[in-house]
Chain A
Amino acid sequence: MIPPGRLLYPRCGQGGDNMPMGFTTIYWRDMIRFVRFKTLLVSSLLQPALWLAFFGIAMSSNFDQLTAGIPVPPGVLTVNYLTFMGAGIIAMTTLFTSLFGGIVILFDKNWGLMREILASPMNRNHIIFGIGLSGVTKSFIQAIIIMVFGILIGAAFFAGFTAVEIIIGVAGILVFVAMFALGFLFLSAAIAITMESPEGLQGVVTLLTLPIFFCSNALYPIDAFPEFLKVLSIINPMTMLITGIRYFAIGPDFIAMGKHYQYTPSVILISYLGLMIFTVLMFALAWWRFKKAVVT
């Protein structure tokens, strides 16, 4: 029945990744889904604006009253609470969008295209990069919407900036958002390829978002935190992102909630390096999970 085995001639090897642009395929497909689900699209764009409009304005009117009596050193820019927490809302939206960004992988694994993708010659890292790139695109769109909407309802983003400074400011914010988003998208991809059900993913993501969000400087200064929480907040990527956003959106020297913030360029650089380290670690995690992944 079986033909006897025979010696085969050696063939010239041609290995290596011959598809350096493979991730654009994953990106293309994920963006199709993004614009196709109209309700999801609209809600993902509306949600951050609603946070800013309701939570922002409500808290702002209270806090601004409370902090009105605190004496401030003369000549320092004082910003209202809406401006302060606007940076936090950009970060929060990026966090949520990114942590859920990998869910398409889970759906693909259970009901969709994952087997087709894994059985194709494309390097698996391109799945991670493609998901990362589309997640970053979504976060950019959301961040810009929040900035524009925030300015419309009274946030003092880029107040007193020249045109060049505004361009640098927006670019700086997006560079920070991109690095942060990538880190959490890689984490999301790693969770998604490992988990069996969307419910499980949702549970893990919810569990992660609460401490990351509240243990940061998104809504309040962290200086008054107990020591333990303070340490957690400082190493929290969320805090690093928000520091970066405030630096580029408000400036290096301002007063908010009665506290004087002064950011030196080295603080900003260290925050960015911290985000990079986080993102590299998350990529390593995703890479390892994808290498292990068996989907049959």
Chain B
Amino acid sequence: MSELAPDNDTAIIRVENLEHSYGAFKAVDGISFSVKRGEIFSFLGPNGAGKSTAINVLITLLAKQKGTATVDGYDVTNDPQKVRESIGIVFQDITLDRDMTVWEILEFHGRLYNMPREERKQRIDELLHLVQLDAKKDERTKNLSGGMKRRLEIARGLMTRPKVLFLDEPTIGLDPQTRMRMWEYIKGVNNEGTTIFLTTHYMDEADQLSDRISIIDQGKIIISGKPWELKNTLGQDLIYMETSDNEAAIRLLQDLPTVRDVKIKTKGFVLMVTEDGTKVLPIVIDTLRKAGIDSSTINLKKPSMDDVFVFYTGKELRDDPAGKTALPAMRAGGR
């Protein structure tokens, strides 16, 4: 298997049963997934879930311990040079030399990858235009804002026209407006044909950007799919209720044909319904009224990526400002 042909198949990254441990701690615990050519694929998970470890194995910075991993048809262990030539990387932390200029950062990268002089020159102009840093060409990177630094790093990642661009937490520490602009850049890059592999612990980021998502927690992939598919697994809508007798209400409602599952909360419960919630809600209220149960609070909403995450991992994302708007923790008992 050491010599692999460039893959004609749609998968540009294939990972099977990948495991990675630091001492006794299993950071990546037997994950398998594949990324299709041309898509934006996300690893969504909390800090410490194993996302960065997995990405570091794929970009050949960490030696693979167990399992198989290929990028663009090349094995990360047997053909690391070829993998390195096929990919671009934006690291989680800023990795710029504070005292080099924007132009020098890109020029250095081009030289590092042995690009011919003319091509370097042309590509730098192109990329500075793409990430709108033309005017900052001779500015030292320490004078750039956080968003500009990130844009410069993305430009650097694209310098060699990689087939896959790896983005490890691309918008960490950026303000909301800058984050949204970064998403536009990333989508633009993807539209031009570059496959994107990104890790994030932001729900909205994964939801907005990705063609497909794998939710990863404690080194394992919990579930994978398109954002809408994942949200649909929770049912069409979520109805949150607080009533005068929650136990009796749940007993009654869980037998309704449109109710897929019920999650118990501190003060109330959540119904996951398989049909349009606005149509189910009158039936629910009717059923309760007939049994003499009063409802004090009712809230109808579409499942969000937060709900998906909380449902499948049984916990909320730590360190996530967006997570505060999520529903209170649900027990993942319905699986």
Tell whether A2 pairs with B33 under 8 Å between CB atoms, given A15-B81, A115-B95, A294-B62. Answer: yes
The reply on A259 being an interface residue by CB < 8 A is no
Q: In the complex, what's the smallest C-beta–C-beta distance from A24 to chain B, in angstroms?
A: 8
Q: In the complex, what's the smallest C-beta–C-beta distance from A123 to chain B, in angstroms?
A: 9
A294 to B57, CA, bound (A): 11
The reply on B304 being an interface residue by CB < 8 A is no
Contact A29 B62, beta carbon cutoff 8 Å = no
Contact B109 A36, beta carbon cutoff 8 Å = no
Tell whether A120 pairs with B112 under 8 Å between CB atoms, given A6-B9, A112-B95. Answer: yes
The reply on A117 being an interface residue by CB < 8 A is yes
A163 to B91, CA, bound (A): 56
Contact A11 B62, beta carbon cutoff 8 Å = no
The reply on A70 being an interface residue by CB < 8 A is no
Q: Given A11, A118, A122, which contacts B5 in the complex, CB threshold below 8 Å?
A: A11
Contact B108 A25, beta carbon cutoff 8 Å = yes
A6 to B9, CA, bound (A): 10
Residues of B within 8 A of A224 (CB): none
Contact A116 B109, beta carbon cutoff 8 Å = yes
Q: Given A9, A22, A25, A294, which contacts B61 in the complex, CB threshold below 8 Å?
A: A294
The reply on B277 being an interface residue by CB < 8 A is no
Contact B84 A120, beta carbon cutoff 8 Å = yes
Number of interface residues of A (CB under 8 A): 38
A5 to B15, CA, bound (A): 10
Contact B32 A32, beta carbon cutoff 8 Å = no
The reply on A1 being an interface residue by CB < 8 A is yes
Residues of A within 8 A of B1 (CB): 8
The reply on A13 being an interface residue by CB < 8 A is yes
Contact with B along A195-207 (1 / 0, CB 8 A): 0000000000000
Contact A113 B5, beta carbon cutoff 8 Å = no
Contact A296 B97, beta carbon cutoff 8 Å = no
A22 to B6, CA, bound (A): 26
A10 to B79, CA, bound (A): 13
The reply on B96 being an interface residue by CB < 8 A is yes
Tell whether A115 pairs with B91 under 8 Å between CB atoms, given A1-B224, A32-B104, A120-B84. Answer: yes
Q: In the complex, what's the smallest C-beta–C-beta distance from A259 to chain B, in angstroms?
A: 48
Residue of B nearest to A36 (CB): B99
A115 to B95, CA, bound (A): 8
Output the residue of A9, A13, A22, A37 with the most chain B CB within 10 A: A9
Residues of B within 8 A of A22 (CB): 112, 114
Q: Given B5, B59, B84, B85, which contacts A8 in the complex, CB threshold below 8 Å?
A: B5
Contact with A along B8-20 (1 / 0, CB 8 A): 0101001010000
Residue of B nearest to A2 (CB): B32
The reply on B232 being an interface residue by CB < 8 A is no
Contact with A along B180-216 (1 / 0, CB 8 A): 0000000000000000000000000000000000000
Q: In the complex, what's the smallest C-beta–C-beta distance from B254 to chain A, in angstroms?
A: 30
Tell whether A8 pairs with B34 under 8 Å between CB atoms, given A25-B108, A29-B100, A296-B61. Answer: no
The reply on A161 being an interface residue by CB < 8 A is no
Give 9 closest A-B pairs by Cβ, nearest first: A9-B5, A25-B111, A121-B84, A120-B112, A10-B3, A8-B4, A8-B5, A11-B5, A19-B114
Interface residues, chain B, with chain A CB atoms under 8 Å away: 1, 3-7, 9, 11, 14, 16, 32-34, 52, 56, 59-63, 73, 81, 84-85, 89, 91, 95-100, 104, 108-109, 111-114, 156, 224
Beyond A113-B95, A113-B96, A294-B62, 19 additional pairs, beta carbon < 8 A: A2-B32, A3-B34, A11-B5, A11-B6, A11-B73, A24-B111, A28-B108, A29-B104, A32-B100, A32-B104, A33-B97, A108-B97, A112-B95, A115-B91, A116-B156, A119-B60, A119-B84, A121-B84, A121-B113
A-B contacts, 12 of them at CB < 8 A, read A3-B14, A11-B4, A11-B5, A19-B114, A25-B108, A28-B111, A111-B98, A112-B96, A112-B98, A113-B96, A115-B61, A116-B156
